[in-house]
Amino acid sequence: MKIFFTNLLTYRVYHGKLILLFTEVNVKGDFKQVNKGIKLFDSELRVMDLLWCEGELTALQIIAKLKDSIGWNRTTTYTIIRKCIEKGAVERIEPNFVCRALVSQNETQKFELEELKNKLFGGSRDLLVTALLNDEKLSDDEIKNLRECIKKFE
């Protein structure tokens, strides 16, 4: 049986920022929601890094890990987790307040890179890449990897 997919676009506003939600629906009626355009701040990225590296974690596990690594207290960590949930980046699963990332690290990297490109480089990819490469000497491996990457687009 072939499964056909269609995408539904919905949106919501979070603190004055438009968040687009793309929902993929297949013929069986299964839904997969993919969040795009979520701005995550450095503190929220700390929580997301844990979830991306380790998968689902309870809030208590996140609290313990962030207390050990950066010294956050329980209240601070719960607040950051709550913000991630409100933004649609993290899902809270009961019982035991289990947290699951709803956006992938790759999606977040793409979004942040696009924001940086538009904000500081007028949307220019070549200016962004040039700025990254100008200040430091590249290793032979980095040069080799960049050449291989460029060949894919030629």
**Average pLDDT of adjacent 10-residue blocks, the chain of 154 residues:** 44 49 46 62 96 96 96 96 95 95 92 91 89 85 89 84
Residue 37's nearest CA partner among 90, 107, 85, 102 is 107
- Within a domain: residue 152? no
For position 26, what pLDDT does the model report? 44
For position 11, what pLDDT does the model report? 52
Distance CA 95, CA 58 (A): 10
Retrieve residue 14's tokens: 């979070």
Check whether residue 83 and residue 30 sit in a common domain.
no
Check whether residue 9 and residue 28 sit in a common domain.
yes
Check whether residue 46 and residue 32 sit in a common domain.
no
- Within a domain: residue 114? no
Q: For residue 103, what is the DSSP state? A: S
* CATH assignment at residue 48: 1.10.10.10
- Within a domain: residue 128? no
Check whether residue 24 and residue 67 sit in a common domain.
no
- Within a domain: residue 48? yes
DSSP string of 30-86? -EEEEEE-----HHHHHHHHHHHHH-SEEHHHHHHHHHHHH---HHHHHHHHHHHHH
Check whether residue 15 and residue 56 sit in a common domain.
no
| Domain interval for residue 63 | 42-105
Q: Report the domain count for the chain.
A: 2
For position 68, what pLDDT does the model report? 95
Check whether residue 69 and residue 91 sit in a common domain.
yes
For position 84, what pLDDT does the model report? 96
* Residue showing tokens 């924001």: 115
